[in-house]
């Protein structure tokens, strides 16, 4: 057993509360924290913006990718699309799908999380049938057989929990029904649409294991369940059913917006909410060193209030090891309380292990992103 050394101290001019009521001569706060906002932390008050670098040399830098430009070849198989960001415990991919899948998919490497960025579809799987729309998260347990029949062209984010499973976060003091009520987790139904796809015709299943694909052929459709019972299933929640935690006096950390948890990473969802209204409260994300986690943000919709020139389908990647936070214009707008409500929707992936960018991601990178924190003269 081990535990963090705990010795809260105070030195110099400080605020009485993190993220609020800063000393007049130091409006810039920086949080140095451990364990992804769950561990010990110290808050520094600075005279200059912690992101005010004038030059950057070396590979550790903030990065911006435009995953709209990824060439995924509109393949009917999720196992044919390139891996964009990855480590030993997680894989992040995007998938364009126009036509219905002609084979079933099965991931024997871990649970799969689908986020429907664009389009809609009918999902058929071992557990039954679900109708999907934009904004849906779908958790597919490891080794579940499934396929999609798009109703319109789709762009899907795939996040694999390699050799792991997705679970729900512990909600602590706010109770089990906060953020989203577990009763809102939809599961597939063995309905008429599912029964209509029973077939004695040949079907094939593409099974991915150790990143290699095997093909199993059946002389019938193996999605032929007539019923099931238990507490393991495909589950779906839409971001529109998420009711974010809020505090009018205190800017909550990203961990307050956690949607799914794996052993070595978390998936968070930022959805529209009122901006903090207390005069002394910070109204944009705080500058922080998240020194144990890499941060990946996929922008789904709206105007992301802490960034400039970010469009839907883009991804920012902030590796652990340097301070990051709002762009200068966003910080100034927060100081002036220009916006009273956020309209952004974004999916955040925070990983305990360093993420590696694949060639397909690098091909879409904007190398000038590192300079976007510079104050323009």
Q: What is the per-residue pLDDT for 17?
A: 77
- Phi and psi, residue 104, nearest 5°: -80, 150
DSSP 143-209: T-EEEEEEEEEEEEEEEEEET---BPPP-GGG-TTSBS-GGG-B--B--HHHHHT--SS-EEEEEEE
Q: What is the per-residue pLDDT for 24?
A: 73
Spatial CA neighbour of 138 closest among 119, 102, 162, 111:
111
Instruction: Report, as ranges of residue numbers, the positions in the chain whose pLDDT lies below 70.
Output: 72-73, 305-306, 308, 376-377
Q: How far is CA 372 from the centre of its chain?
A: 22
Using CA atoms, how far apart are residues 179 and 308, in angstroms rounded to an integer? 28
Q: Give the number of other Cβ atoms within 10 Å of residue 311's Cβ.
A: 10
Q: What is the per-residue pLDDT for 127?
A: 98
* Domains of the chain and CATH, by start: 28-65+244-373 (2.60.120.10), 74-239 (2.60.120.10)
Instruction: Break the chain down into helix, strand, coil percent, rounded to 5.
Output: 10, 40, 50
Q: What is the per-residue pLDDT for 61?
A: 92
Read off the pTM.
0.92
Task: Answer whether 255's CB lies under 8 Å from 37's CB.
Answer: yes
Using CA atoms, how far apart are residues 236 and 114, in angstroms rounded to an integer? 9
Strands 314-318 and 273-274: unpaired
Radius of gyration of the chain (CA): 22
The dihedral built from the CA positions of residue 348, 349, 350 and 355, taken in this order, carries a sign that is negative
């Amino acid at each position: 057993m081990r535990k963090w050394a705990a010795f809260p101290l105070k030195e110099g001019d400080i605020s009485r509360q993190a993220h609020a009521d800063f000393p007049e001569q130091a409006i810039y706060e920086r949080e140095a924290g451990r364990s992804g906002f769950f561990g010990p932390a110290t808050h520094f008050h600075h005279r200059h913006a912690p992101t005010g670098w004038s030059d950057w040399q070396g590979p550790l830098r903030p990065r911006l990718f435009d995953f709209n430009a990824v060439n995924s070849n509109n393949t009917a198989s999720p196992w044919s699309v390139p891996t964009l960001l990855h480590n030993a415990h997680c894989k992040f991919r995007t998938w364009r799908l126009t036509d219905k899948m002609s084979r079933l998919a099965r991931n024997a490497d871990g649970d799969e999380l689908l986020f429907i960025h664009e389009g809609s579809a009918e999902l058929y799987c071992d557990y039954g049938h679900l109708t999907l729309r934009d904004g849906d998260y779908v958790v597919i347990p490891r080794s579940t057989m499934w396929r999609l029949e798009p109703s319109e062209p789709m762009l899907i984010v795939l996040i694999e929990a390699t050799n792991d499973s997705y679970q729900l976060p512990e909600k602590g003091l706010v109770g089990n029904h906060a953020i989203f009520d577990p009763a809102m987790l939809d599961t597939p139904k063995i309905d008429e649409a599912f029964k209509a796809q029973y077939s004695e015709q040949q079907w094939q299943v593409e099974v991915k294991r150790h990143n290699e694909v095997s093909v199993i052929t059946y002389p019938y459709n193996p999605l032929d369940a007539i019923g099931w019972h238990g507490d393991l299933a495909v589950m779906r929640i839409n971001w529109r059913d998420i009711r974010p935690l809020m505090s009018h006096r205190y800017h909550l950390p990203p961990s307050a917006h956690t949607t799914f948890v794996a052993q070595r990473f978390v998936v968070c969802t930022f959805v529209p909410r009122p901006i903090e209204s207390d005069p002394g409260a910070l109204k944009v994300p705080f500058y922080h060193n998240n020194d144990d986690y890499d941060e990946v943000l996929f922008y789904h919709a709206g105007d992301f209030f802490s960034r400039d020139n970010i469009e839907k389908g883009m991804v920012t990647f902030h590796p652990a090891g340097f301070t990051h936070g709002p762009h200068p214009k966003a910080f100034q707008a927060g100081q002036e309380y220009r916006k009273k409500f956020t309209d952004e929707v974004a999916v955040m992936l925070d990983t305990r292990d360093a993420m590696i960018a694949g060639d397909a991601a690098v091909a879409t990178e904007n190398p000038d992103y590192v300079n976007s924190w510079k104050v323009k003269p």
